[in-house]
């Protein structure tokens, strides 16, 4: 199923996208499904059979024209959100563009960092302020949502715990990111203003997943267009670490819960930082009014527009929100700049 969260008459609801594009309003068809997406995931053994039965034979009066509802992020308030670093092409290229060798630890273990699960957006506008617009970037990623508790998981348990997949845009304010990472922390302020998810959450049964000894692998083309121009083209199957491996390491010694989002990291060619450094693009960064379209085969098209929001704290010293950035691709005093 393609599960969505949407606004209808100022009420947040969940449902499923049908083959003809109409949205099945779960709550209108079945009172027991008048829940949010997180509850549906947590109570999937009880509620998903009801949802599947409805999608097989949807009552006509519960089907909405997509133009009458506004899609939100499929899971607007995930329990947590981490982002990974799983595509070697992106990591190696971004480092080479800064004159750095490939880091050998990449092949030893998968890594993730926590990002802001309370700044999730869906399709539509992404609001940014002045300092975000200084070298604003997209990042083309695939993400998973957990559906089962995990702790010290085997690869098989990790794969079984994945509820579904979705498109993720890990927006990056590169000036803020690089300045902050000189202090060996971050990339918090460079990332925490927005992460876009959507347009829907696709359950695993709809996807082309190959079983491998390292875990399941998604075969899906990944592209990005900015203002109608194709900039990025990759495939989810080029991940050097599977989501099962990422979840196995992430769950080591901790309890994970249903409703956590984990991103793959940027696919090769999947951001302007990499493309500019490779001279594919010439100092191109996102600006107000730009339309960014991420598309992943089987997962849909996530369409966002950059919207500038005026500064509220006009007298705030600039160095408190981002200083100068003489060389984006240079290493920093504390080590190489981030990706």
Cβ pair 133, 308 in contact under 8 A: yes
Mean pLDDT of the chain: 93
**Residue pLDDT tens, the chain, 339 long:** 999 999 999 999 999 999 999 999 999 999 999 999 999 999 999 999 999 999 999 999 999 999 999 999 999 999 999 999 999 999 999 899 888 999 999 999 999 999 999 999 999 999 999 989 999 999 999 999 999 999 999 999 999 999 999 999 999 999 999 888 888 888 889 999 999 999 999 999 999 899 999 999 999 999 999 999 999 999 999 999 999 999 999 999 999 999 999 999 999 999 999 999 999 999 999 999 999 999 999 999 999 999 999 988 777 676 666 555 444 434 433 334 445
- Residue 282 is classified by DSSP as S
> CA-to-CA distance for 191 and 245, rounded, in angstroms?
24
Which helix (H) or strand (E) segment is 38 a member of? helix 37-42
Distances (CA, A) of 115 to 170, 300, 306: 9, 23, 20
> CA-to-CA distance for 321 and 76, rounded, in angstroms?
27
Strand, helix or coil for residue 60: helix
């Amino acid at each position: 199923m393609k599960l969505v969260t949407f606004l209808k008459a100022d009420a947040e609801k969940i449902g499923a996208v049908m083959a003809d594009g109409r949205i099945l309003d779960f709550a209108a068809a079945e009172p027991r499904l008048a829940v949010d997406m997180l509850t549906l995931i947590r109570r999937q053994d009880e509620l998903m059979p009801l949802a599947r039965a409805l999608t097989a034979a949807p009552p006509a009066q519960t089907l909405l024209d997509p133009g009458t509802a506004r899609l939100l992020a499929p899971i607007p308030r995930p329990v947590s959100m981490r982002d990974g670093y799983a595509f070697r092409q992106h990591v190696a290229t971004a480092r080479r563009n800064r004159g750095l060798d490939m880091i050998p630890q990449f092949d030893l273990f998968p890594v993730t960092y926590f990002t802001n699960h309370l700044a999730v957006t869906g399709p539509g506008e992404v609001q940014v302020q002045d300092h975000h617009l200084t070298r604003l970037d997209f990042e083309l990623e695939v993400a998973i949502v957990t559906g089962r508790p995990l702790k010290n998981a085997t690869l098989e348990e990790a794969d079984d715990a994945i509820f579904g997949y979705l498109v993720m845009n890990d927006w990056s304010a590169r000036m803020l990111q690089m300045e902050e990472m000189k202090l060996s922390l971050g990339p918090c302020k460079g990332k925490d203003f927005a992460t876009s998810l959507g347009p829907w959450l696709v359950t695993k049964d709809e996807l082309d997943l190959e079983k491998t000894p390292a875990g399941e692998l998604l075969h899906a083309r990944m592209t990005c267009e900015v203002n109608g121009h194709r900039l990025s083209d990759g495939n989810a199957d080029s991940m050097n670490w599977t989501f099962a491996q990422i979840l196995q390491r992430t769950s080591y010694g901790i309890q994970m819960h249903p409703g956590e989002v984990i991103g793959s990291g940027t696919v090769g060619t999947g951001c302007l930082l990499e493309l500019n450094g490779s001279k594919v693009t010439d100092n191109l960064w996102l600006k107000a009014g730009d339309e960014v379209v991420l598309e992943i085969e089987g997962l849909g098209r996530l369409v966002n527009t950059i919207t500038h929001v005026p500064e509220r704290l006009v007298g705030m010293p600039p160095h408190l929100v981002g200083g100068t950035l003489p060389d984006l691709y240079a290493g920093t005093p504390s080590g190489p700049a981030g990706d």
